[in-house]
Amino acid sequence: MSSAVAPATVPAQVPVQGGRSSLTRSRIRAAWVFIAPTLIVLALIAGWPLARTIWFSFTDANLNNLTDYEFIGFENYIANYDGEWLGLLTDPDWWRSVWNTVWFTTISVSIETVLGTIVALILNASFPGRGLMRAVILIPWAIPTVVSAKMWNWMLHDQFGVINDMLLRLGLIAAPITWTANPDTALWTVIMVDVWKTTPFMALLILAALQMLPGDIYEAAKVDGVHPVKVFFRVTLPLIKPALIVAVIFRGLDALRVFDLIYVLTANSRDTASMSVYARQQLVDFQEVGLGSAASTLIFLIIALLIVITMAAGRVRLSGDPR
């Protein structure tokens, strides 16, 4: 343009369309082309069923005849008939299932995180047969949940179960315990089986994080004479925390959706029913598609809310202690 003095230093013409060069624009276009198939598939297999579920939750649809239903607004959630409150939000069984689920998730994920960390620390040490141990420990995770739940069902059986038998022989209990039927033990039993099944998964995720840690800082700590316990809490734990948080979120989401384990172990028992079990019962056993959909929608909302809270909390803590 005006500068004719030093043509070599004049920058190439920069298009000023919204500050984006044509290269940037073509990159953005390419990005959209690449993610479009994924977005379409996601919309079809996740978006559409979700939208349909939400829609059904505002209708009085019945499983007998899914074509004939009416829009009833929020009546599945909450409604007032002649001064009496009805609907999902007033159903104590629903709230019981919410409580069961939250309790189950909190306790089982906590135990799995602690146990998983311990197992990962052991597997991270070098000892003969470590490779084999890493494979063996994954077996509970590899067995389909229905199979392992059935297996535990038999082991926990009040008359023929090996667990009652062992405890009786050891003299730890006087009479067989109906582990899955007794309201005092049912939820704990479910938690115990879930811990047995999922700890290996947790351990593997944490092991992966442990193996990313630089080895030299441990040698530095050794030379400095820092006690191993202190090294764990002051060095290892802060360094694997990001991975730990991801693992906890993963497992937490999984646990909030828990269905098969509880259904196989305890069927529709009120003492253990999770939100998913409740929704299935409404939808299949009682044929109430509208009510079941309302429950499913609430599950979706609750999980979404918990994700947002966890991620926000995680980010706050992460940014407070960045790596």
Partner 1 sequence: MADLVLKNVRKSFGRAHVIHGVDLDIKDGEFIVFVGPSGCGKSTLLRLIAGLEDISSGDLFIGGERVNDLAPAKRGIAMVFQSYALYPHMSVYANMAFGLELAKSSKADIDSKVREAARMLQIENLLDRKPRQLSGGQRQRVAIGRAIVRDPKVFLFDEPLSNLDAALRVQTRIEIAKLHNDTGATMIYVTHDQVEAMTLADRIVVLNAGRIEQVGTPLELYHRPANLFVAGFLGSPQMNFIECVVSHVGAEGVQVQLPNASMLTAPVSSQGVRVGETVTLGIRPDHVKVSPQGSLTGRIELVEELGENHLLYVDFGKGRHLTVREPGDAHHQAGQEVALSLAPEFCHLFRETGEALPFLSESKAPAPSSPDMSSRAA
| 291: Cα within 13 Å, side-chain hemisphere | 22
Question: According to the binding rule CB under 8 A, does residue 256 interact with partner 1?
Answer: no
| 242: Cα within 13 Å, side-chain hemisphere | 11
Q: How far is the CB of 116 from partner 1 (least distance, A)?
A: 21
Among 78, 86, 115, 235, binds partner 1 (CB under 8 A): 235
Q: How far is the CB of 246 from partner 1 (least distance, A)?
A: 17
Classify 80 as helix, strand or coil.
strand
Q: How far is the CB of 311 from partner 1 (least distance, A)?
A: 21
Question: According to the binding rule CB under 8 A, does residue 320 interact with partner 1?
Answer: no
Question: According to the binding rule CB under 8 A, does residue 319 interact with partner 1?
Answer: no
Question: According to the binding rule CB under 8 A, does residue 169 interact with partner 1?
Answer: no
* Lookup result for tokens 């984006």: 20
* Lookup result for tokens 């919204």: 18
Longest dimension (CA), the chain: 101
In the bound state with partner 1, the residue whose beta carbon lies nearer, of 19 and 214, is 214
Question: According to the binding rule CB under 8 A, does residue 174 interact with partner 1?
Answer: no
- Cα 293 to Cα 122, 177, 256, 262: the distances in Å are 45, 37, 17, 20
Q: Which stretch binds partner 1 (CB under 8 A): 103-111, 231-239, 275-283, 296-304?
A: 231-239
- Cα 108 to Cα 102, 104, 262: the distances in Å are 10, 6, 13
Q: How far is the CB of 312 from partner 1 (least distance, A)?
A: 21
- Phi, then psi, of 41 in degrees rounded to 5: -60, -45
Residue type for 70, please? E
Interacting positions 206-225 with partner 1 (CB under 8 A): 214, 216-217, 219-225
Q: For residue 86, give the H/E element and its range.
A: strand 84-86
Question: According to the binding rule CB under 8 A, does residue 321 interact with partner 1?
Answer: yes
Question: According to the binding rule CB under 8 A, does residue 323 interact with partner 1?
Answer: yes
Beta bridge partners of 85: 80
Provide the binding-site residues for partner 1, judged by CB under 8 A.
214, 216-217, 219-227, 230, 234-235, 238-239, 321-323
